[in-house]
Amino acid sequence: MRYAIPKTAAEAASLLMEEAARVLAGGTDLLVQMKSGVRSPEVIVDIKHLPGLRDISREGGGFRIGAAVSGAEMQEDAELVAAWPGVVEGVNLIGSTQIQGRATMAGNLCNGSPAADGVPAQIAAQAVARIAGPEGERDCPVAEIPTGPGKTSLGRGEFIASILLPARPDRSGDAYLRFIPRTEMDIAVAGAAVNLVLAEDGTVKEARVALGAVAPTAILVEEAGAALVGSKLEEPALAALVRACEAACKPIDDKRGTAEFRTHVAGVLAKRAARIAYDRAGGRA
Amino acid sequence: MAFDEQKKRDFKVVGTRPVRPDGIDKVTGRAMYGADLSAPGMLVARVLRSPHAHARIVRIDTSKAEKIPGVKAVVTSADLGRPADEALRDTQDNCLAHDKVLYDGHPVAAVAATSAQAAKAALAAIEVTYEKLPHVTDVDAAMKADAPVVLEGRAYEEVPEGWSQNVTNHCEFGHGDLEDGFAKADLIVERSFKTEATHQGYIEPHACLASVGPDGRGELWCCTQGQYMVRETCAGILEMDASQLKVTPSEIGGGFGGKTTVFIEPVALALSRKAGRPVKLVMTRDEVFRASGPTIQSSTDVKIGMTRDGRITAAEATLRYSGGCYPNSTCMMGAQAAFAPYDLEAVKTVGWNALTNRPKEISYRAPGAPTAIYAVESVIDEMCQELGLDPIDVRLQNAADKGTKSSYGVTFQDIGLKAALEAAKAHPHYSAPLGPNQGRGLSCGFWFNFGGNSSVTLSVNTDGTVSVTEGNPDIGGSRASISMIAAEELGIPYERVRTLVADTASIGHSDTTDGSRVTFMVGLATIRAAREATQKMCARAAKIWGIEPDAVEWVDGAAQPAGPNAGKFPPMSLAEIAATSLKTGGPIAGHCESTADGAGVSFGVHLCDIEVDPETGFTKVLRYTVFQDAGKAIHPDYVEGQMQGGAAQGIGWALNEEYIYGEDGRLQNAGFLDYRIPVASDLPPIDTVIVEVPNPGHPYGVRGVGETSIVPPLAALSNAVSRAARVRLRELPMSPPKILKAMMAKG
């Protein structure tokens, strides 16, 4: 097994073309998988030392977050937290305080877990990943990265270099909630992210709702967002949101929860997250 | 002086809260745990485990593994003898499967190699041919006639017709006329309950370092609750003389009963004997879950009759326990404990054990009692709800007291149940207001406690300090308590005493640290050893003064003339006597190698407030208070710690902890991610009220306190949930999907 610290994206991409190569950012998934024998990589490509990968930079009113930026670093950026509180709170639900010092939003995305806490709010935010690879860079919506449990649309030699969270209009807010049987240190049984933009009168102008742990990947539920548009989160709109979420769920029964439970709770979380996002956007329900 | 006389006394050291002696070692990482010792030339061992729930081992071919560079030894059960004793044979077969694997994770072979990589490669190279057999992992299914038989030839002699030969143990307790009792009842409630197996969840996995020389003599360093138990068991399995095996207990990172047997020690010794080199064997967490001892899975029926005003007229329970793949008698402790808190005219309990394809159960804090009392206290609570009666008043009305003939036959001496119930009733917690979706639950709890055998040597050092050497690993603060007891008896400051836990060659036999026995029994032995030492010191003073030894008494840490007629001499302190001891007759020490009954049962009462999220079934424990009779709390911090720790583990058992088996009989959640013990933020501050009703069997009145506290939480939480969610669950754990389903079914 080799451990490599490439200095350029091209060098990293070339290393990742090798057999059984894996990217190391925070390592909070990879090291656990290696210890349990799930993965035995031949080459570990540490991308933390590539230019810009540990930076949060401002871009067109939005935020470009390097793939090796930890959850703790995101939490410390007050402007980022103010603009995208839901995205940051999702990332900050990953693991413990210690894990937060290492775990990254991009790594959480690339691990491909349907239950990843860092992903639904990114999808609701219309985040765009910048992918580096043997052919150079390309941009891809975060929503199109995960393709199934443990699987992504990244090609051979490709890795995520950064993720762009777009600029926020006035009167916007997002939120992420997950359900776990405990209060922390757990994996989502269901998760829901809601991103809202309000009109001046407080009616919802734009709404995006994404769910986690209820399908093979985190999913955008367009009907759920549509249910909120034009409302001030009155009961019928919330009921329509819940129905749309429940209809979109295709969960599994497993040791962490029954399909029935996940479906029900996804709707409850979406409703609650919508209220928080609405409040953050300055709305008065 | 009358030796064990219990007199009212003002304690100087006992009852205070000195700094714990192991604290700095533990927080700085200096403490040596099971995996922390290494030896020159040491090999690393790994264990190959069964991937099947139940299978016959047709053949094990280790030849390829043995050829891997760095591999120094491979062992299977063929490398061990075949002990005549059935229980010892079960323990051995649990360490290395004999002809069948009985559960997912059952050890099949082990290797020792110069590196972990070589050991891992060797495991992969061992070829095991299995013939898969049908399996059963549920206790009720295992009792049915057509269930797969886990072990042939072990059935209870009178298994009822239509039941499986998996049924291995049976017991019955009780007294009085049940039919007559139920006839007197205004309300009879009969319910069935089920609980899933839980694991002790100690933070330190089992670990050991074994070394056997070419002369056959062995040394073993391991993390255990009982080094003598390890020595006797390993010597039996490896056919060694006990005197030729020295076992040293490491510092222990939690036990809770789970380290009262062996899982890896005989394997490490066998590997070392074969390789001729020291061998370290450390279990992974996955292995701990799959193949060390969880508690029982249970299925229980309870029937209780009660008058309109809350008097219990008759009570009956049938307990079906499964302690995994080998016979065990935990159902007996459950059947004895079930109705122990109550003074009943007519009571009957029946216990059964059935074998299942699960790992061999080992003790977990009050083994057998929590699940039995959960069922009983749930039914009593339901009857209180039905009859509109106060749960504490009903329990006070029926509570056992001094002179009560218990449901298991013993007549109680002084006990603290009523005192604990009164304390709960008077506590502000019991009358605090509750909000929406909140409920308050209550349960009594009980544990027998044990005495047993222990050895203590108390040496008076020439500098005036005192060394206490004893043979019981400290899992709950016993070194502090024992030093305090020695200081109290000798009349010297606590800081002058240090207590150490010794290896098997350094002091006489001591039973395992279990049954909440150590502060009681080792404390008792320490009092006796200290009194022997003070008698010797009095004799030295007498010799110096030239008076009769019985004219000298020990008062406040010094020898003094027993009265005006004995002569006029200033008191001679322990330090003064110690300083000259080598010239006045030699070293001074007191000993006690003893056995004791009279451990004194301990009762507790837990109060719990819970909030249930009506939309998700999520539970939040809001407030928790433990009331428990400690007899006499030696070091109240540790007593409170035991009360809080038991409550925390019981909360986990009630809400989220469970062994989850798949259709294939394999354990699905062998890790702390999906085996959900409570994390700190899941728990409220757990308030404690120590009740002290002295145990007449101990000079200071001490009762064991380590186990009672895990008994009440199961019902306390279930009773709280039934009020908060307005629906009663009769199955543990009460995980959110189950609570939500029950609430939605009720509508």
pLDDT, tens digit only, all 285 positions of chain A? 999 999 999 999 999 999 999 999 999 999 999 988 889 999 999 999 999 999 999 999 999 999 999 999 999 999 999 999 999 999 999 999 999 999 999 999 999 999 999 999 999 999 999 999 999 999 999 999 999 999 999 999 999 999 999 999 999 999 999 999 999 999 999 999 999 999 999 999 999 999 999 999 999 999 999 999 999 999 999 999 999 999 999 999 999 999 999 999 999 999 999 999 999 999 875
Of residues B674, B741, B744, nearest to A255 (C-beta): B674
Q: Which helix (H) or strand (E) holds B88?
A: helix B86-95
- B294 sits in the region (left: phi over 0; alpha: psi -120 to 50; else beta) called beta
Residues of B with CB under 8 A from a CB of A: 286, 615-618, 655-656, 660, 668-669, 673-674, 676, 678-679, 681-682, 735-737, 740-741, 744
pLDDT of residue A284: 73
Which tokens go with B630?
Answer: 């400690």
Average pLDDT over residues B65-91: 96
The CA distance from A33 to the nearest CA of chain B, in Å, is 14
**Strand B218-222, strand B207-212: pairing:** antiparallel
Model pLDDT for residues B272-303, shown as the tens digit of each residue:
999 999 999 999 999 999 999 999 999 999 99
Model pLDDT for residues B31-77, shown as the tens digit of each residue:
999 999 999 999 999 999 999 999 999 999 999 999 999 999 999 99
Give the integer Cα–Cα distance in Å for B741 and B747.
10
Domains with residue ranges and CATH for chain B = 42-133+204-253+259-291 (3.90.1170.50), 297-448+601-746 (3.30.365.10), 451-596 (3.30.365.10)
pLDDT of residue B8: 62
Which CATH number describes the domain made up of A172-280? 3.30.390.50
- Rounded CA Rg of chain A: 19
Q: Looking at chain A, which residue has its C-alpha nearest residue B618?
A: A181
Which of A254-258, B571-575, B737-741 bottoms out in mean pLDDT, i.e. has the lowest? A254-258
Average pLDDT over residues B522-531: 97
Q: Looking at chain B, which residue has its C-alpha nearest residue A190?
A: B616
- Chain mean position to CA A159: 16
Model pLDDT for residues B200-230, shown as the tens digit of each residue:
999 999 999 999 999 999 999 999 999 999 9
Give the integer Cα–Cα distance in Å for B269 and B265.
6
* Torsion angle defined by CA atoms of residues B414, B416, B417 and B419, in that order, rounded to the nearest 10 degrees: 120
Cβ–Cβ below 8 Å for A255 and B735: no
Cβ–Cβ below 8 Å for B682 and A183: yes
Supply the angle between the helices B330-337 and B369-387 in degrees, to the nearest 10.
30
Of residues B679, B740, B744, nearest to A182 (C-beta): B679
- Rounded CA Rg of chain B: 27
pLDDT of residue B7: 56
Give the integer Cα–Cα distance in Å for A191 and B601.
48
Model pLDDT for residues B405-456, shown as the tens digit of each residue:
999 999 999 999 999 999 999 999 999 999 999 999 999 999 999 999 999 9
pLDDT of residue B5: 52
The CA distance from B67 to the nearest CA of chain A, in Å, is 23
pLDDT of residue B741: 97
Dihedral angle sign, alpha carbons of residues B220, B221, B222, B228? positive
Its ipTM equals 0.95
Average pLDDT over residues B316-334: 97
pLDDT of residue B563: 87
**Chain A interface test: which of B740, B741, B743 (most A C-beta within 10 Å):** B740
Model pLDDT for residues B447-506, shown as the tens digit of each residue:
999 999 999 999 999 999 999 999 999 999 999 999 999 999 999 999 999 999 999 999
What pLDDT band is residue B6 in, cutting at 50, 70 and 90? low
Give the integer Cα–Cα distance in Å for B692 and B702.
9
B540 three-state secondary structure: helix
Give the integer Cα–Cα distance in Å for A177 and B613.
15
Check: CB of residue B226 under 8 Å from CB of residue B362: no
Residues of A with CB under 8 A from a CB of B: 36, 179, 181-187, 189, 255-258, 260-261, 264-265, 268
pLDDT of residue A285: 58
**Mean pLDDT, rounded, of chain B:** 97
Model pLDDT for residues B601-614, shown as the tens digit of each residue:
999 999 999 999 99
What pLDDT band is residue B372 in, cutting at 50, 70 and 90? very high
Check: CB of residue A167 under 8 Å from CB of residue A245: no
Give the integer Cα–Cα distance in Å for B640 and B711.
15
